[in-house]
């Protein structure tokens, strides 16, 4: 994971979903079949970035999606978006596959939920999914609720107007 793009500050990494469906093969006969539940808490104003996971990385109307509650607000969608919590409370998100006889063969679905407010602080959150993805370009991040991640410092600037720039590997202890 590259964290240099967050400007050299520490963030609390929190990919809140530990539900993963790997190498799934079956014919789903129910209209909607739930394959996993992710639970977390959020506060009023928290902005949550949600990825439905797609099937093998693609978002299709006949495939994987998420449905559930952010507090008492019901959400259901394919793809990815940022939602804002309107109340404190428990959040329950379901990973679903569309049924009606759809056959799935060796599919992987990895939904992800990030509390952007906890990561960046209120008012500092990315405003779009694209802005978040530009900072963290990986396709998938495993479950990790609460680890502090720091950007590595590789250069030190000093002197008037930063005229002298040294790579940390060139600095020596006296």
- Mean pLDDT per block of 10 residues along the chain (174 residues) reads 48 80 82 81 92 78 80 86 90 84 82 89 91 79 62 41 40 38
Label residues 144-174 b or e (16+ Cβ within 10 Å = b).
eeeeeeeeeeeeeeeeeeeeeeeeeeeeeee
Q: Is residue 63 part of a domain?
A: yes
Q: Is residue 60 part of a domain?
A: yes
Q: Is residue 117 part of a domain?
A: yes
H helical segments located in 14-144: 116-120, 129-135
* pLDDT for 166: 39
* pLDDT for 103: 83
* pLDDT for 52: 85
* pLDDT for 10: 66
Total number of domains in the chain? 1
Q: Is residue 53 part of a domain?
A: yes
Q: Is residue 162 part of a domain?
A: no
Structural domain including 47 reads 12-148
Q: Is residue 135 part of a domain?
A: yes
Q: Is residue 172 part of a domain?
A: no
Q: Is residue 158 part of a domain?
A: no
* pLDDT for 55: 80
């Amino acid at each position: 994971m590259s964290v240099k793009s967050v400007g050299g500050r520490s963030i609390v990494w929190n990919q809140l979903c530990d539900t993963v469906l790997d190498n799934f093969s079956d014919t789903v006969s129910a209209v909607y079949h739930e394959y996993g539940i992710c639970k977390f808490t959020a506060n009023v104003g928290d902005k949550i970035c949600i990825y439905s996971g797609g099937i093998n990385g693609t978002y299709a109307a006949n495939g994987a999606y998420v449905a559930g509650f952010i507090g008492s607000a019901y959400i259901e969608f394919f793809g990815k978006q940022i939602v804002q919590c309107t109340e404190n409370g428990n959040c329950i998100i379901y990973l679903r596959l569309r049924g009606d006889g759809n056959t799935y063969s060796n599919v992987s679905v990895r939904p992800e939920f990030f509390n952007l407010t906890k990561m960046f602080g209120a008012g500092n959150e990315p405003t779009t999914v694209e802005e978040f993805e530009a900072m963290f370009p990986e396709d998938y991040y495993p479950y990790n609720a609460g680890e502090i991640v720091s950007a590595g410092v590789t250069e030190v600037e000093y002197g008037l107007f930063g005229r002298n720039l040294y790579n940390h590997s060139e600095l020596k202890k006296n």
